[in-house]
């Protein structure tokens, strides 16, 4: 375990802090290179236990970053690509 907080974790804490100014929260989310999907999900989903709602601008940015991260992970793992083992035609001729 790290002794000191990393810049990525510090920015993530700022993004999730509901008392921080909106401009600073948005800037911190933009600066995180690969934001954790769990953090983005917490910002996107409306829960009944949340005391202060997430501002719409921050929510929209979190949604865009979530879609980008999911697409990047699909491409990296190969889930978004067509498998070369499956033939393209019904006869199975390669």
What is the pLDDT of the chain when averaged over all its residues?
Answer: 86
Per-residue confidence band for 74, with pLDDT thresholds at 50, 70 and 90: confident
Rg over CA atoms, the chain: 19
Buried-exposed string 75-87: b where 16+ CB fall within 10 A, e elsewhere? eeeeeeeeeeeee
What average pLDDT score do residues 16-35 get?
A: 95
Which residues 6+ apart lie within 8 Å of 68 measured at CB? none
Model confidence pLDDT, tens digit, residues 32-41? 999 999 999 9
pTM of this structure: 0.75
């Amino acid at each position: 375990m790290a002794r000191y907080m990393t810049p990525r974790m510090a920015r993530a804490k700022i993004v999730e802090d509901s008392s921080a100014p909106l401009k600073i929260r948005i800037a911190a989310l933009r600066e995180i290179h690969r934001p954790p999907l769990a953090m983005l999900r917490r910002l996107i989903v409306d829960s009944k236990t949340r005391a202060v709602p997430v501002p719409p601008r921050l929510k929209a940015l979190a949604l865009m970053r979530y879609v980008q991260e999911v697409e990047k992970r699909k491409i990296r793992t190969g889930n978004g690509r067509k498998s070369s083992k499956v033939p393209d035609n019904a006869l199975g001729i390669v």
